[in-house]
Amino acid sequence: RQPLSSRPLGERLCSAEEATAGGGTYTRHGFICASLAGCLERSTEDGGLPVVSVVRDAESQLLPDVGAVVTCKVCSINSRFAKVHILYVGSTPLKSTFRGTIRREDIRATEKDKVEVYKSFRPGDIVLAKVISLGDAQSNYLLSTAENELGVVVARSEAGVQMVPISWCEMQCPRTHTKDFRKVARVQPQFLQT
């Protein structure tokens, strides 16, 4: 078994006549292709065809998956949804950012028809959310904050000070004492990003 250089997803590795498809590969049009990005390995069984497999590097990209709790930063909002960049999956930082959308109806579990996006999130907020679907071709993940543990964890006031949650729907600036509406997360300690 000699590990070879890293291979991108979908690359043709060799002809299906030369080897057997192992883990991390698939056969298409007579070729063995990589089904994930990682290192190519060949292992030869007794006298048979070599088995070609692709092993994910420890360094390779972790992807947000359905059900995962992610930490994201709000980029923009409108009346229907908030656009975010996903920064962490669980407590693992992502090497590249993924885009996500929190739709108005996925912001909270109750009285969904009364939710207003601008009273829930503002650009720059750090939000805990759960991945509910892998979204569309633009790699746009659909996220939800409908559980009590999910929502805004860090928000800055207009004075630039980190605000303090005072209820599940309000935060207050400790300097100016101005109150702002937010969908506040009741954060469980294991999700806190320091």
- Domain residues of the chain, as ranges? 6-55, 68-187
What is the structure's pLDDT at 194?
A: 41
SS3 label, residue 104: helix
What CATH superfamily classification does 68-187 receive? Nucleic acid-binding proteins (2.40.50.140)
Whether pLDDT at 145 is above 90? yes
Identical fold at 6-55 and 68-187?
A: yes
pLDDT above 50: residue 3: no
The CA distance from 148 to 106, in Å, is 12
**Is the model's pLDDT at 173 over the cut of 90?**
yes
For the segment 165-176, the average pLDDT, to the nearest whole number, is 92
Query: What average pLDDT does the segment 67-92 reach?
Result: 93
- Strand 92-103 versus strand 126-133 pairing type: unpaired
CATH class of the domain defined by 6-55:
mainly beta
pLDDT reported for residue 1? 40
Q: What is the pLDDT of residues 80-104, one digit of tens each?
A: 999 999 999 888 888 777 899 999 9
How far apart, in whole angstroms, are the C-alpha atoms of residue 40 and residue 180? Answer: 53
Residues in the chain: 194
Confirm if 94 and 62 have CB atoms less than 8 A apart.
yes
In what order do the strands lie in the sheet containing 50-55?
A: 2-7, 38-44, 50-55, 20-21
